[in-house]
Every structure is written in structure tokens, then in C-alpha cells.
Amino acid sequence: MALDRGIVGVEQGPWTRTWSSDDALIYALGVGAGQLDPTKELAFTTEYAHGVTQRVLPTYAIALGQFGGPPLKLGDVDYTQLLHAEQTLTVHRPLPVAGTIELRRVITDVYDKGKGALVVTETTGSDPADGQPLFATRSSVFIRGEGGFGGDRGPSVDFAVPDRAPDATLRFPTALNQALIYRLSGDRNPLHADPAFAAAGGFERPILHGLATYGITVRLLLGEFADGDPDQLATVDGRFTKPVLPGEELVVSAWRDGDSVLFRTANGAGDIVLDRGRLGLTG
């Protein structure tokens, strides 16, 4: 088996994705909206609450962009050895509650990390009516056993949180069925539902989607630093460092830095699971 390193520069698309109000609600439930108190976050969890207008969590753009389209062609690789490594989202315009987007995707880089290869993909979503961009997202996946081919290791980015106590510490206990809910938004990777597939990848049981941890983290940060207003999100990025098991607690440590929030997410034992986080706000 081998990763096809000739995939760099290969473009896919355009294709379209259409979503409904129900799809947006299901995504919100998948990243824990209303889970601790069903009377709150109603803008994301219901379409008819009195005095509340339904809105969309901005990280739903990632699910729309990365799932439901043509398969990502990586060559003859063992998908039990593939892990989500990094994720970035740039929001140009808020997503509507329901609609259609036009999507394009390109593999920009394949880096040699020694024990594995890092494949970087960029996806853009635009409004098919006027061609204006709605969002761009960049995703990196690490494929164990595919490194050592003598390629570029890729750029190194400096990151450090301020040398002070966090401005906020946010806690969220994930549900035992969190992955089963989140997968309904498009990521049907059996690693998150099938015990046999998870065992083949070296896990004791199915793990939570990295993008579920990502979405939960962003939702908590918007609630803390933007009064829950999804339209204030401009950018967000982070690096996945350790798998999360459904049922584990997530602990987000956050530092305000001007119009940005630096963050790290750990599990209840203190192990960092999402690192190098930076959330940019519109002001």
C-alpha cells in the first residue's frame, strides 16, 4: 500500500451541497448545543422557540465542505491508519439556515513527517447564485506508516499561550453517544462507530470525531467571548494531538488576545487533545 504523492495540485469540483434547517439542528446537537441545558442555545437547537430566530453554528461549514462530496483520492492507503491532524476555517459570510453551496477542493501539500505523511487539503464554498465566497477550510490528515520518502517536513509555526492564568476555563462532559450523533452530519468514518474498525486502528473503542471536539470547543468559546453570536467568528484553527473517547470531559483553557482568543482543549485527565488554537473575532 502506498500514498499517491502525485495528488498535489489535483483539483476536484465544482459540486454542490444542499442542506435544510433540520440538518443545521442536527449538527448543533452533534457538537453539544443544549446538552447541558435544553432551554439555552435555542437559536441553534430549535426553529420555532418564542422570540428566537434559528441560526447556524459556523463550524457547520466544515462538515458541508468536507463530507458528502467526491471521495478524496489518496492512493492505496490503509484508512485505519488515518487521523485528523489540523483544521482551519475562514468565514467570509454567515451561513444561511438552509441553502446550497458550490464547492471546490485541491490537495495543496504532502509532507514527510518520518513516521507518517501529512496531506493538506483546501476546500472553498461559494454562493452559486452570485459566486461570492462563503468560507474556506483547510484540513490536514496524518497517515501513519506513509512517511520516510525523503520529502519536505513542512513549515513550523510558533505558538505560545500567554504566561498567565487563562481568562476562561470552560468544561463540557461529552455524551457516550456523542460520536453517533455527530456522524449524522456527514462524517461516516467507521472509526467513530464500528468497534472492529476502531480496534484495527489500535483503539480500545470508537473515538470521537476530531471535528466534534473542534465544534464543541468553538461553540463554548463563542458563548464565552462573543455572547454566543456565530456571526462574530472570522477564523479558527487548531491541531489535534490526542484522540477523545465519547464520555470524556473536555476542558477548554482560553486567553483573550485583542480580537483573537488563544486556546487549548484538554481531556479531564489534563491531556491536551486540541492544541495551538486561535479563534479570530470580527471585533
Q: Which residues are catalytic?
A: 187, 192
From CA 159, how far away is CA 170, in angstroms rounded?
A: 21
**DSSP run (H or E) holding 28:** helix 21-30
Q: Which residues contact 26 (CB under 8 A, 6 or more apart)?
A: 181, 184, 185
Q: Could you give the CA distance from residue 209 to residue 120 in angstroms, rounded to a whole number? A: 18
**β-strand partners of 110:** 119
Question: Three-state SS for 92?
Answer: coil
Looking at residue 184, the DSSP 8-state letter turns out to be: G
Helix H or strand E encompassing 43: helix 42-45
Cα distance between residue 252 and residue 274, in whole Å: 9
CA pair distance 216, 27, nearest whole angstrom:
11
Instruction: Give me the phi and psi of 152, to 5 degrees please.
Output: -65, 135
Q: How many H helices and E strands in the chain?
A: 6, 12
